[in-house]
Amino acid sequence: MQPSLPLSSESRVWPKKKVFPLQTNSGLNKNYNEFGCYVHCIAKIAWDKGGWDAEDLCEHIMSVVDLAIKYGILTDTMRVMDPDRIFLLYGLDVGYTNRHESPDRKCKAGEVEILYFEAPGDLQHFVVGDGSGNVVWDPYGESKTVRTGKLVSKRIFEIRKVV
């Protein structure tokens, strides 16, 4: 008797992992492209932690932005008024310390950080940190503000659960 071929002998095409769009992506609106770094960091963290996924990432981001503006937790100029509730719109329950933490504050287990940089010329920018103040993801890809500026403060969030 001949051995049978394994059932998995046919070739399979595995789906590629989606690449999270940069803030400058043309699928995002102009205000978002220019001023949405903080809210984009929130979206990225929630996406990384499994809070959400969508076929069209930019379309989903813009639908959450529209809801956040409607609820008054984000302004139309992309100023974040309530980061906890924006995280929740992305399916991630977090607790925010509700203060600007010092640059040397280290994250505890279960916490994530968004770093705030300033540079000469009134440049300001938010990026995702590694918990120790190092940049792990920049919504612009590689911003001048991070390259030429300094870390001023952190926003620390405790990840509670995916909802």
Q: How far apart are CA 144 and CA 7, in angstroms?
A: 53
Best CA proximity match to 135, nearest among 147, 118, 121, 124: 147
Token digits of residue 3: 């051995």
CB under 8 Å to 95, separation ≥6 — which residues?
84, 157, 158, 160
Confidence of residue 18 (pLDDT cuts 50, 70, 90): confident
Q: How far apart are CA 162 and CA 88, in angstroms?
A: 9
Token digits of residue 144: 């001048």
Q: What is the pLDDT of residue 71?
A: 98
129 within domain boundaries: yes
14 within domain boundaries: no
> Greatest CA span in the chain, whole angstroms?
79
pTM of the model: 0.89
Q: How far apart are CA 71 and CA 124, in angstroms?
A: 25
Confidence of residue 8 (pLDDT cuts 50, 70, 90): very low
Average pLDDT over residues 99-107: 96
10 within domain boundaries: no
134 within domain boundaries: yes
Token digits of residue 34: 């220019």
110 within domain boundaries: yes
Average pLDDT over residues 31-51: 97
12 within domain boundaries: no
Q: What is the pLDDT of residue 124?
A: 97
Domain count, the chain: 1
Query: Residue 132: CA atoms inside 13 Å, Cβ hemisphere, count?
Result: 0
Q: Residue 143's domain spans which residues? A: 24-162
- Beta strand 150-162 with 135-137 is unpaired
137 within domain boundaries: yes
8 within domain boundaries: no
Q: What is the pLDDT of residue 15?
A: 53
Note whether 139 and 104 are within 8 A (CB): no
Average pLDDT over residues 71-79: 97
Single-letter amino acid, residue 77: T
pLDDT exceeds cutoff 60 at 6: no
